[in-house]
Structure 1
Amino acid sequence: MKSSHLFQTPFPAKLSALSVFVFLAACTVGPDFKSPDDSTSQHYDQQAEQRLGQSGEQHIQFGKHITGQWWSAFRSPKLDQVVRRAIDGNLELVAADATIRQASSSVAAAEGALYPQVDFGAAAGRQRTHNAKDPAINNFYAIGPRVGFDLDVFGGNKRQVEEQQAFTDLQKRRYDAAYLKLTSDVASQALLVASANAQIQAVDKLLANDSKNLELVRAAHINGTTTQIDVSLAETRLAQDRTLLPPLAQQRDAASHALSILTGKGPADWIPPPFDLADFTLPANVPVSLPSEMAHSRPDVQQAEAELHIASAAVGVATANLYPKVTLSASLLQAASGNGGAALWGFAAGITGPIFNGGTLKAERQAAVEGYNATLAGYQQTVISSFGQVADTLQAINHDAEEFRAQEDALRAAETSSRLNQQAYAQGENSILQVLEAERAYQQALLGYIRVKTSRYLDTVQLFVALGGNSVGVFDQQVASRETRNPL
């Protein structure tokens, strides 16, 4: 029996060949992804930071991180209840969860290419032999397994797995962003409901005063102490103030319907609790992380980084396509033809590599490189935009505080005027019309006060959102929580 060529090869030569294959198998071409460097910016808006850092009523804690559930800073049990309900029932989060699981399955599918592929085949038929001494018709069959393995010498398959893993990370960050948007939308809509209810109460009192004023003016006109012009003016005020109610009712109803939808229910299937501004407390201390930490705090920045990772892996895949592919295959068949049968085995190694393709592969790699450069610019723009959003919100909170103080002064002045007019009327020094006019001015000042107070709450919500709301990684946290509650 003759020995095969493999066994005729000297052992040192076989060892050298094996070493070459091991070395090549460990080679992965293309760039190894590295997260972009953190920003060197130290401030968002120094003027706003300085003012809010010194403010006594609501100030920022620069360099601190948001911890826990950010909406709990408003100390509203009703809000906590609705947010939890929304997180459990929101359909967009359900869809995002399923998308992540789909992406994870794609990773597993890509990882399969890193392992040997084992197939089973069988064939049977009937054949006629023409060139034999005695032509004959015979039955034949072959059955057995076949193994194929791509050595992935230059790491193309590994880069494809990396690309799919980065895509899964992207879906997770999208879930985090959807979670942050959901919680901020719930808080904002709840505040809009509370604001509308407070303004409706103030307008109701304003309309009551307008009606009393109109009755008195009409009575005075009958007595001849006023003119028709005064009556017309009172009627005009009442009619104008009545126009304030429908928009406020629409704001309340639309915000209430939005809360139902955010929890995954129709407006007729679930009605949120009746929020009031007294249910909320303005956070006195708001932690504001440093700009250099923004890349780790906001889901949209993390999304942009995941997209950059995908683009980097795509460059690796396109680079690997420029190099040869080495495959190994083996088969073991039980075959028979006519009256004879035998066990057949085979082993083969193959290599294919590009020689000429009209520059397609190089162009594809260059396109991948340019795609990476474009994605990098997009990432940098996302980071800069996040700084701008924080700076805008800080200034908004700063200006809200200024407007709120002015509105407080106006409300106190109107309240003092109303009280003095009531005292003067009790002493017979002025008319009831003056009292009602002062009360009307107070209710109008109260409306302005409610609107500014609402703006302070809403802008504080937006600041939490602009800072990321401690939502990065929330999907992984929820998965861990589910596994803890439901162990196998």
Structure 2
Amino acid sequence: MKSSINRQLFQTMVGALSALMLLCACTVGPDFQMPPPSQSQHYDQQAEQRLGEGGDKAGEQQIALGHKVRGDWWSAFQSPKLDKVVRRAIDGNLELVAADATIRQAASSIAAAEGTLYPQVDFAAQAGRQRVHNAPEPAVSNFYAIGPRVGFDLDVFGGNKRRVEHQQAFTERQKHRYEAAYLTLTGDVASQALLMASANAQMQAVEKLLANDAKNLELVRMAHLNGATTRIDVSLAETRLAQDRTLLPPLAQQRDSARHALAILTGNGPADWSAPDFDLAEFVLPSNVPVSLPSAMAHDRPDIRQAEAELHIASAAVGVATANLYPHVELSAFVAQSASGNGGAALWGFAAGLAGPIFDGGTLKAERQAAVDGYKATLASYQQTVIQSFGQVADTLQAINHDAEQNLAQEDALRAAESSFRLNQQAYAQGENSILQVLEAERAYEQALLGHIRVKTAQYLDTVRLYVALGGNSIGVFEQRVAARETPNRSYQ
């Protein structure tokens, strides 16, 4: 009779456990779905139309709406020096090195989380010496027990699976952070190289102007010796030369700061490595820039992909909090060889444990609601990130549009100022006007020349910003880094 009861109890337990194991395929909580793509087809229609029709005049650019950036975006500037420095920065930048290590750390955490989905096998051993007092004759004996133990969390409602999913999404976020750092790095390198080139071009222009100042001063001094002009005219020419000399130090500082920034971006101290001198003439302004549609850009920008991964993390957190509302089932078993005194025996055991919440003061439900609200907040942040990215592209498109307009106006101003300056110099040499008129004409030419260089620099920098705003070629670069990890280090001059 007793054997029949035990058999029925065992069969009931096995049936219950079988039913629970069938529930393992039912993971509670929401299954993550990617947010639907944006329905927007434009960033700024006026800028798109204007730039879509541009490119006919020198200094104008055209966009190819609906096309994606292919290859290394900075290669569009056709500067071998820039390509070499960017490559050096990608290999040596310490922020990328740190981001790489963080991703590998996160990947190890995935493996650790996945371990909970499998049986946990331990080995236990115990040995000691004991004395029995309540025996007919008190005795002292040795004892030991040794053997393996196995535990397995059935994860009936998928809490552990959601934790693995959470960690996978976290790792995905870290990859997109790496991509964002890569995109920022390449954009910074290109920008600093252009700033250095701009400073060099402006310094060359200022040095040319200083040579003209010195020439004018010599003419005025000779005229003063001949009695054709006054000491006031000489003083004006000296003042102009002294004032124009003050233009060089700030430009030299801009050049040196850019050089130092490039060294740091490549993972070196400013005294340990020096970037090559960049010349603005060695850069080619891309005449045709591919611009992906808003609906497709979400797949090209790492910050949007990062926000998407954060949304996935929040979704998995809801699943974990939901699973915590349900019972937790664990199986365990052990086999041991034990002995005490002169006797020994082989022992085994099997057990199933079930624990579930009955009353917790509303803690678990509140935690789930907090996770749901966190998901909603993360969704709003994702949507805001998408909208802001559209705004960045729209702003940059308009900037490029206005740069082209300003470039044309500045070229006209430069030609007019240069002509006026030459005519005034000739007239002064023939005694037809005063030195004051020459100096004013020179000042107008100086401003027009420097303004022209600054406008061209703005065109280059805004083009860099557009490539960065569109995501460049950053998606997937971490996988490329992993594939090239065993490649021998490249050398740079």
Q: Which moved more, 1:122-131 or 1:475-484?
A: 475-484
Once the 2 structures are TM-superposed, how far is the Cα of residue 41 of structure 1 from its aligned partner? 1.0
SS in 2 for 1:283: coil
Separation of aligned partners in 2, 1:312 and 1:415: 65
Q: Give 2:44's aligned residue.
A: 45
SS in 2 for 1:482: coil
Alignment map for 1:150-299 (pairs within 5 Å) = 150-299=153-302
Separation of aligned partners in 2, 1:236 and 1:37: 66
The reply to whether residue 470 of structure 1 matches residue 479 of structure 2 is no
Once the 2 structures are TM-superposed, how far is the Cα of residue 196 of structure 1 from its aligned partner? 0.3
Q: Give 2:450's aligned residue.
A: 447
**Which residue of the other structure, out of 364, 367, 378, is the alignment partner of 1:364?**
367
Separation of aligned partners in 2, 1:15 and 1:485: 58
Separation of aligned partners in 1, 2:114 and 2:217: 80
Deviations 1:273-318 (A, max 9, x none): 1100111000010000011112111000111111111111111111
- Alignment check: 8 A CA contact 1:318 1:364 kept: yes
- Alignment check: 8 A CA contact 1:206 1:444 kept: no
Q: Give 2:342's aligned residue.
A: 339
Separation of aligned partners in 2, 1:146 and 1:135: 33
SS in 1 for 2:484: helix
Deviations 1:417-458 (A, max 9, x none): 3455567678x5757956676555434321111000000000
The reply to whether residue 20 of structure 1 matches residue 19 of structure 2 is yes
Q: Give 1:377's aligned residue.
A: 380
Deviations 1:80-135 (A, max 9, x none): 11111111111111110000000001111111111100001111112222333333
**TM-score when scaled to structure 2?**
0.92
Amino acid at match of 1:189: Q
- Alignment check: 8 A CA contact 1:153 1:326 kept: yes
Once the 2 structures are TM-superposed, how far is the Cα of residue 355 of structure 1 from its aligned partner? 1.2
| Aligned CA distance change for structure 1 residues 416 and 219 (closer, same or farther; 3 Å) | closer
SS in 1 for 2:485: helix
| Aligned CA distance change for structure 1 residues 391 and 355 (closer, same or farther; 3 Å) | same
Percent of aligned pairs with the same residue? 78
**Which residue of the other structure, out of 315, 318, 336, is the alignment partner of 2:318?**
315
Q: Which moved more, 1:20-29 or 1:337-346?
A: 20-29
| Aligned CA distance change for structure 1 residues 8 and 281 (closer, same or farther; 3 Å) | same
| Aligned CA distance change for structure 1 residues 213 and 320 (closer, same or farther; 3 Å) | same
Instruction: Report how many aligned residue pairs link the two structures.
Output: 483
Separation of aligned partners in 1, 2:103 and 2:257: 32
Once the 2 structures are TM-superposed, how far is the Cα of residue 325 of structure 1 from its aligned partner? 0.4
Deviations 1:189-237 (A, max 9, x none): 0000100000000001111212222233334334443334323322332
**Which residue of the other structure, out of 303, 324, 328, is the alignment partner of 1:325?**
328
The reply to whether residue 114 of structure 1 matches residue 112 of structure 2 is no
- Alignment check: 8 A CA contact 1:205 1:443 kept: no
| Aligned CA distance change for structure 1 residues 5 and 339 (closer, same or farther; 3 Å) | farther
Q: Give 2:411's aligned residue.
A: 408
Q: Which moved more, 1:469-478 or 1:173-182?
A: 469-478
Separation of aligned partners in 1, 2:449 and 2:13: 91
- Alignment check: 8 A CA contact 1:206 1:440 kept: no
- Alignment check: 8 A CA contact 2:191 2:464 kept: yes
Q: Give 2:31's aligned residue.
A: 32
Aligned-residue CA RMSD in angstroms? Answer: 2.3
Separation of aligned partners in 2, 1:42 and 1:131: 89
Separation of aligned partners in 2, 1:83 and 1:339: 77
Q: Which runs of 5+ in 2 are unaligned?
A: none
Once the 2 structures are TM-superposed, how far is the Cα of residue 15 of structure 1 from its aligned partner? 8.0
Deviations 1:52-81 (A, max 9, x none): 000023110001101100000001111111
SS in 1 for 2:96: helix
Separation of aligned partners in 1, 2:263 and 2:204: 23
Q: Which moved more, 1:329-338 or 1:369-378?
A: 369-378
Q: Which runs of 5+ in 1 are unaligned?
A: none
Separation of aligned partners in 1, 2:481 and 2:138: 73
Q: Which moved more, 1:101-110 or 1:13-22?
A: 13-22
Once the 2 structures are TM-superposed, how far is the Cα of residue 21 of structure 1 from its aligned partner? 2.7
Q: Which moved more, 1:368-377 or 1:415-424?
A: 415-424
The reply to whether residue 80 of structure 1 matches residue 79 of structure 2 is no
Alignment map for 1:65-144 (pairs within 5 Å) = 65-144=68-147
SS in 2 for 1:274: coil
- Alignment check: 8 A CA contact 1:328 1:348 kept: yes
| Aligned CA distance change for structure 1 residues 17 and 6 (closer, same or farther; 3 Å) | farther
Q: Which moved more, 1:377-386 or 1:239-248?
A: 239-248
Q: Give 1:355's aligned residue.
A: 358
**TM-score when scaled to structure 1?**
0.93
Separation of aligned partners in 2, 1:5 and 1:157: 36
- Alignment check: 8 A CA contact 2:21 2:154 kept: no
Separation of aligned partners in 1, 2:134 and 2:293: 86
- Alignment check: 8 A CA contact 1:209 1:436 kept: no
Separation of aligned partners in 2, 1:106 and 1:374: 26
Amino acid at match of 1:122: A
Separation of aligned partners in 1, 2:4 and 2:208: 104
